[in-house]
Amino acid sequence: MRPRPQPRVELLQGTLDLLILRTLLAGATHGHAIAKHIQRTSEELLQVETGSLYPALHRLEAKGWIEASWELSSKGKRAKFYRLTPLGRKQLTSEQSKWDAFSRAMGLILKPGKQEG
Amino acid sequence: MRSFIRKLMWLAQRGHKEAEFREELQFHLDEEAEERREEGLAPEQARWAARRELGNVALLEENIRGVWIWTFWEQVIQDLRYALRMMRKNRVFTVLATLLLALGIGANTAIYSFMDALLIRSLPVSDPRSLAVLNWHLTGKKSVRDSVVQDVSGYFYDDPKTGKTTPIFPCPAFELLRKSSDMFSVLFAYHPAGKMTIMVRGQAEIVSGEYVSGDYFRGLGLAPAAGRLIIGDDDRVGGPAVVVLSYAFAQGRFSDPAAAAGQPVMINNIPFTVIGVAPRGFFGVDPSKAPDFYLPLHADLLLSSRTDPNFKPGEWYLNEHYYWIEMMGRLRTGVTMAQAQAAVGPVFEQWVATTATNDRERNNLPEFLLKEAAGGLDTLRREYSKPFDILLAMVGLILAIACANIANLLLARATARRRELAVRLSLGAGRWRVVRQLLAESLLLASVGGAAGILVAIWGIRFLTLLLAGGNDHFTLHAELNWHVLVAAAVLTMITGMLFGLAPALEATRVDVMPVLKEMTAGKRRPRVGLRFSLSRLLVVSQIAISLLLLVAAGLFVRTLSNLQSLEIGFHRENVLVFKLNARQAGHRDPEIISFYSDLQRRFAALPGVRSATLANSPLIGDGAWGWPVVPLGQPTPEHAPSGHGSGVADTATHVLATGPVFFTTMQIPLLAGREFDERDRQGSLPVAIVNQAWVKTNLEHRNPMGQHIVSYGPGLKPQEMEIIGVAKNARYDDLTGNFPAIVYMPFEQNLNVPVAEMTFFLRTSGDPLAYASMVREIVHQADARIPVTNLSTQAAQIDGEISQEILFARLCTGFAILALAIACVGLYGTMSYMVARRTGEIGIRMALGAQRGTVVWMVLREVLVLAALGLAISVPTALGTSKFVESFLFGIKPNDPTAVAVAVVTLLSAALLAGYFPAWKASRIDPMIALRHE
């Protein structure tokens, strides 16, 4: 088993969708790459469970926020690529502003001093 | 909506989609493994690590599937598949349960379809909801005898809410309401024309007709199927002799209804022209009748003027005290029933007050009453709704017993499946998931039972229609499986499934997983039986209780049946052929008609095999009676004695029958004194009469009746004096039950102011009376081809026909009670067998310790008796409390007849002991050694 540099942080309920949408903003990619991207970008703090990733992808696809197509991966294998739809882009903006507001609110309460300045 | 379409699309391309996401996951695994390999793991280990990281693949697939489809429905389909497998596995149980359910649901559906036909169906006319039928009623203790009503042609009925109610009005009231009402867009009237002889293309037959006012068809909003319908101008004094045929009649006689228009027909020997045909399926406004033709109201001037020698033209159109015409109105748009009642009621009531001539009449004034008429007149409803209520209650109880029984069987089976259920629960199935699966099994079972029940219902409806019609061609209660009946059957099926499935399902899943799993492997039997067992006992107790109710009902009806069949009727009913002829409708007139009938009587009497033949102006049973005051000379007539022909002649009037010679010989009514009518008693000779015991008792007390002079006050006839020449023993005339009526018999050949029209012939035969039917028809045809022979039957069949509804009802109830008892016994037997099996070990120990076989049998039977006693404790008071609901269907027996209750209790106890004895006997045969090893 791989050594874990840091203790993992549990994903907050409902944030996975936002993370997926944000990841896909960079361009179309497959499930595995999305998981890796979230892990790496969060400096391994966030570990995306496969068990929640794929149902989440399918849920977003069902909602029409992302769409899927079968393409060849960088290693030349057939993989299911997801990309943002215009609807998903809109959703991302609104989710992100909601998240910003939420984290600002959390910050204000948890660290009152820092935020004053 | 979007998600719905998405889910549907998924279902359509499900295989493809599943393959896709399996490939997607595989790709993920490969990527992950490759990454691990790059980190330095061996290929095999890398694959395993990736696999571990992925977790439960099945669960993941399930979750993804959950995004796309209804997991719920998926599971339902799964449950149903499983349930089907279980049903196939337990064939005996499935067949038994299906049979029980099919009988229960089928019987309920059949009875319900009749109630639907009775209560829910509308008249086949345009906008039936805006129709209202006009009635009046007398509230409180007011009596029709004391009211302004002097003569009637029509009926009264007792309504629990409105009291004595009737739809008949005098014609001036119709004219008044028709003019003054702004509530009705059309107000139309009708009056039954009764049976008439109609001759179509040279073929005579007797069918029923209806007189209708000119606005009748317009008011109902009907369009003709051919020609035109009766309009306002047809209905007037001196109007054209026109007739509208019913669709069925026109089709039967002219094959094509369109060909009927314009054709000539003879009605009671008077030429009429068919102007049109009523629309298909239209049966008039009374679902209990289906007139074959419709005549303008004023055509009765044409027809009655020829048949009634005492006719005064049109008198009844002006008479304010003669109640005969029935009315229906179509409410104007926006007018409610209550508004119309409030507006029209006072108009009629003010008018009727002006017709009262004395204080007695003023204190008994009719009150106006408007009723909804969307379903037509409620004659059928009054006749059948109570019997069907009771039948529905009975079949409902039977279904309840069947449910209890199946629930018990399911409980026993659930015990056998404890291990299976425990495994499911321990593997993480939710309790509700398992309950749902068990429920799916019961619902599937119920559905199969319900589907088979529909077949039973189809058969049941045919069978019941046949029984109810009892050979009557004009039976009009047509039940059918329409969509509301089918929906009701489906709902009933689902409720049934829930009823018998839910309790066992809840009970079966109420398990502690561990003990059950352990117990099974260790072979120890220590299940939590307390609650479960009491539930099964509860079910048996309720079955016994319900069966007792049905048995008590059956007892009452069987007694009623035997009372009805052993009725004293006063004459000999076997080997008598009865039929009617109406020579007047074929054009015969006084006095020739009398010799015509006498001649026929002599020819019938001369037939080989006919011992004697006679005739009378009414059948004895089932067709009402003539009645008017007949009192000793010099005695005043009773103050109020309604006269005429009908059923239930008032006590104050005498039943009158005009008979031919040898009437008493033919009917075998013994004469106590004097002689019967013979050749001497013809027109012009001394008017004579024969009275019966009941008449002597009411009118003469202790005087010797022979030679006394009496006076008959026929309606609209001049009083007729007669001498008594004989006294007959009491015999039935009109009703089969109640006190014997007071009867005066007169010789019809003397024509003592009794109109001679329709006559009933009685032929006493040797051997089967019906064997003489063709000879009778031949003789009548030779005498006058225009006269049809009608109502041909045997006297015994006629009497049976009169009490057929009671007989049918008694038989049905008895049959249902036996069915219920059988089902309850099967249930008891099953439960006791199961209990014995469960206690094998205990019984073995008892026997090893020296218990006698008798003791063991008693131990089991005691259990049965306790259950039966509990059931009886509940149901005997219930039976005593509810039996009054069937009171009106009983004859010669009180609803709380102790014998009926006692017989029911004994029958039930014996049946219970019988059902319990076999398991008890089996228990006593248990070999202690085997039983102990079994442990």
CB B227 within 8 A of CB B274: yes
Q: Using CA atoms, how far apart are residues B311 and B31, in angstroms rounded to an integer? A: 111
> Residue B466 pLDDT more than 80?
yes
B688-692 and B720-728 strand pairing: parallel
Candidates A34, A63, A62, A54; CA nearest to B61 is A54
Mean pLDDT is lowest, of B468-472, B622-626, B828-832, B886-890, for B468-472
Taking only the tens place, the pLDDT of each residue in B398-429 is 888 888 888 888 887 777 777 777 887 777 67
Instruction: Give the pLDDT confidence score for residue B523 in this predicted structure.
Output: 44
Residue B831 pLDDT class (50, 70, 90 cuts): confident
Tally of CB atoms within 10 A around B416: 10
Taking only the tens place, the pLDDT of each residue in B548-569 is 888 888 888 888 888 877 778 8
Instruction: Give the pLDDT confidence score for residue B272 in this predicted structure.
Output: 94
Q: Using CA atoms, how far apart are residues B509 and B434, in angstroms rounded to an integer? A: 7
Instruction: Give the pLDDT confidence score for residue B532 in this predicted structure.
Output: 47
Number of H helices, E strands in chain A: 5, 3
Q: Rank B68-82, B150-164, B336-350, B703-717 by mean pLDDT and report only the highest.
A: B336-350
Helix (H) or strand (E) holding B72: helix B71-89
Question: What would the two tokens of residue B12 be?
Answer: 């359509």
Q: A88 to chain B nearest CA, in Å? A: 16
CB B660 within 8 A of CB B749: yes
Instruction: Give the pLDDT confidence score for residue A6 in this predicted structure.
Output: 52
Residue B210 pLDDT class (50, 70, 90 cuts): very high
Taking only the tens place, the pLDDT of each residue in B127-141 is 888 999 999 998 877
Q: Using CA atoms, how far apart are residues B856 and B241, in angstroms rounded to an integer? A: 88
Is the minimum CB–CB distance between B66 and chain A shorter than 8 Å?
yes
Mean pLDDT is lowest, of A2-6, B615-619, B778-782, B805-809, for A2-6
- Length, in residues, of chain A: 117
Rg (CA), chain A: 16
b/e map B153-180, b = 16+ CB within 10 Å:
beebbebeebbbbbbbbbbbbbebbbee
B214-220 average pLDDT score: 93
DSSP characters over B495-523: HHHHHHHHHHHHHHT---HHHHHHHHHHT
**DSSP class of residue B195?**
E
Residue B526 pLDDT class (50, 70, 90 cuts): very low
B217-225 average pLDDT score: 92
Smallest CA–CA distance from A71 into chain B, residue: B24
Q: A38 to chain B nearest CA, in Å? A: 15
Indicate the Cα dihedral angle B742, B644, B799, B460, nearest 10°.
Answer: -140
> Residue B471 pLDDT more than 70?
no
Residue B587 pLDDT class (50, 70, 90 cuts): confident
Instruction: Give the pLDDT confidence score for residue B691 in this predicted structure.
Output: 94
Interface of B with A in 6-65 (CB under 8 A): 6, 20-21, 23-25, 27-28, 30-32, 34-36, 39, 49, 53-56, 59-60, 63-64
Task: Respond yes or no on whether the N-terminal peptide bond of residue B591 is cis (omega within 30° of 0).
Answer: yes
Instruction: Give the pLDDT confidence score for residue B188 in this predicted structure.
Output: 95
| Angle, CA of B833, B834 and B836, to the nearest 5° | 65
Q: Using CA atoms, how far apart are residues B858 and B874, in angstroms rounded to an integer? A: 24
Comparing B233 with B139, which gets the higher pLDDT? B233
Comparing B47 with B689, which gets the higher pLDDT? B689
* Residues facing residue B759 across a β-bridge: B581
Instruction: Give the pLDDT confidence score for residue A7 in this predicted structure.
Output: 59
> Residue A5 pLDDT more than 70?
no
Question: What would the two tokens of residue B505 be?
Answer: 């399902």
Candidates B115, B23, B34; CA nearest to B464 is B115
Residue B68 pLDDT class (50, 70, 90 cuts): low
Comparing A102 with B10, which gets the higher pLDDT? A102
What sign has the CA pseudo-torsion B751, B753, B756, B759? negative
b/e map B376-396, b = 16+ CB within 10 Å:
bbbbbbbebeebbebbbbbbb
pLDDT, mean over chain B = 83
Q: Is the pTM of this model over 0.80?
A: no
Taking only the tens place, the pLDDT of each residue in B310-366 is 446 667 788 888 888 999 999 998 899 999 999 999 999 999 999 988 888 888 888
Q: Using CA atoms, how far apart are residues B859 and B113, in angstroms rounded to an integer? A: 47
Question: Is the ipTM of this structure higher than 0.90?
Answer: no
Comparing B159 with B546, which gets the higher pLDDT? B546
Mean pLDDT is lowest, of A31-45, B307-321, B878-892, for B307-321
| Chain B residues close to A58, C-beta within 8 Å | 21, 64, 67-68
Q: What's the Cα-to-Cα distance from B40 to each of B33, B43, B45, B513, rounded to whole Å?
A: 11, 9, 10, 46
Taking only the tens place, the pLDDT of each residue in B376-393 is 887 778 778 888 888 888
> Residue B527 pLDDT more than 80?
no
Residue A46 pLDDT class (50, 70, 90 cuts): confident
> Residue B394 pLDDT more than 80?
yes
Instruction: Give the pLDDT confidence score for residue A69 in this predicted structure.
Output: 86
DSSP characters over B125-157: SSSGGGEEEEEEEE-TT--GGGSS--EE-S--E
Give residue for tokens 């002799």.
B241
> Residue B764 pLDDT more than 60?
yes
> Residue B147 pLDDT more than 90?
no
* Residues facing residue B614 across a β-bridge: B762
Helix (H) or strand (E) holding B294: strand B293-296
Residue B204 pLDDT class (50, 70, 90 cuts): confident
| Chain B residues close to A54, C-beta within 8 Å | 21, 24-25, 28, 60, 63-64
> Residue B932 pLDDT more than 60?
yes
| Chain B residues close to A59, C-beta within 8 Å | 67
Q: Using CA atoms, how far apart are residues A31 and A56, in angstroms rounded to an integer? A: 10
Indicate the Cα dihedral angle B359, B364, B370, B373, nearest 10°.
Answer: -130
Return all residues near B913 (Cβ < 8 A) that are at least 6 apart: B861, B864, B865, B868
Mean pLDDT is lowest, of B176-180, B547-551, B646-650, B825-829, for B646-650
| Chain A residues close to B28, C-beta within 8 Å | 30-32, 50, 54
Instruction: Give the pLDDT confidence score for residue B307 in this predicted structure.
Output: 43
Candidates B290, B245, B288; CA nearest to B264 is B245
DSSP characters over B549-599: HHHHHHHHHHHHHHHHHT---SS--TTEEEEEEESGGGT--TTHHHHHHHH
Q: Which ranges of B161-214 does DSSP label H, i.e. alpha helix?
A: 171-180
Instruction: Give the pLDDT confidence score for residue B662 in this predicted structure.
Output: 92
Share of residues in chain B with pLDDT > 70 (%): 91
Query: Between chains, do A58 and B21 touch, taking CB under 8 Å as contact?
Result: yes
> Residue B306 pLDDT more than 60?
no
What sign has the CA pseudo-torsion B863, B865, B870, B871? positive
Instruction: Give the pLDDT confidence score for residue B463 in this predicted structure.
Output: 87
Mean pLDDT is lowest, of A12-16, B45-49, B315-319, B537-541, for A12-16
Q: B13 to chain A nearest CA, in Å? A: 15
Query: Between chains, do B59 and A50 touch, taking CB under 8 Å as contact?
Result: no
Q: Using CA atoms, how far apart are residues B714 and B753, in angstroms rounded to an integer? A: 7
Is the minimum CB–CB distance between A39 and chain B shorter than 8 Å?
no
Share of residues in chain B with pLDDT > 90 (%): 24
Please name the amino acid found at residue A54.
Y
Mean pLDDT is lowest, of B1-5, B56-60, B116-120, B886-890, for B1-5
Candidates B717, B648, B644, B755; CA nearest to B151 is B644
Q: A98 to chain B nearest CA, in Å? A: 25
What sign has the CA pseudo-torsion B32, B35, B37, B41? negative
B163-182 average pLDDT score: 88
Residue B650 pLDDT class (50, 70, 90 cuts): low
Residue B801 pLDDT class (50, 70, 90 cuts): confident
b/e map B569-590, b = 16+ CB within 10 Å:
bbbebebbbbbbbbbbbbbbee
| Angle, CA of B650, B654 and B660, to the nearest 5° | 135
> Residue B461 pLDDT more than 70?
yes
Query: Between chains, do B49 and A1 touch, taking CB under 8 Å as contact?
Result: yes
Question: What would the two tokens of residue B122 be?
Answer: 């509308």
B270-277 and B264-267 strand pairing: antiparallel
| Chain A residues close to B5, C-beta within 8 Å | none
Q: A5 to chain B nearest CA, in Å? A: 15
Query: Between chains, do A55 and B20 touch, taking CB under 8 Å as contact?
Result: no
Helix (H) or strand (E) holding B271: strand B270-277
Q: Using CA atoms, how far apart are residues A50 and B53, in angstroms rounded to an integer? A: 8
Residue A1 pLDDT class (50, 70, 90 cuts): very low
Candidates B132, B130, B126, B119; CA nearest to B373 is B132
Instruction: Give the pLDDT confidence score for residue A77 in this predicted structure.
Output: 82
Instruction: Give the pLDDT confidence score for residue B27 in this predicted structure.
Output: 86
Mean pLDDT is lowest, of B97-106, B228-237, B352-361, B888-897, for B888-897
Taking only the tens place, the pLDDT of each residue in B655-681 is 899 999 999 999 999 999 999 998 888
**DSSP class of residue B729?**
P
Tally of CB atoms within 10 A around B404: 26
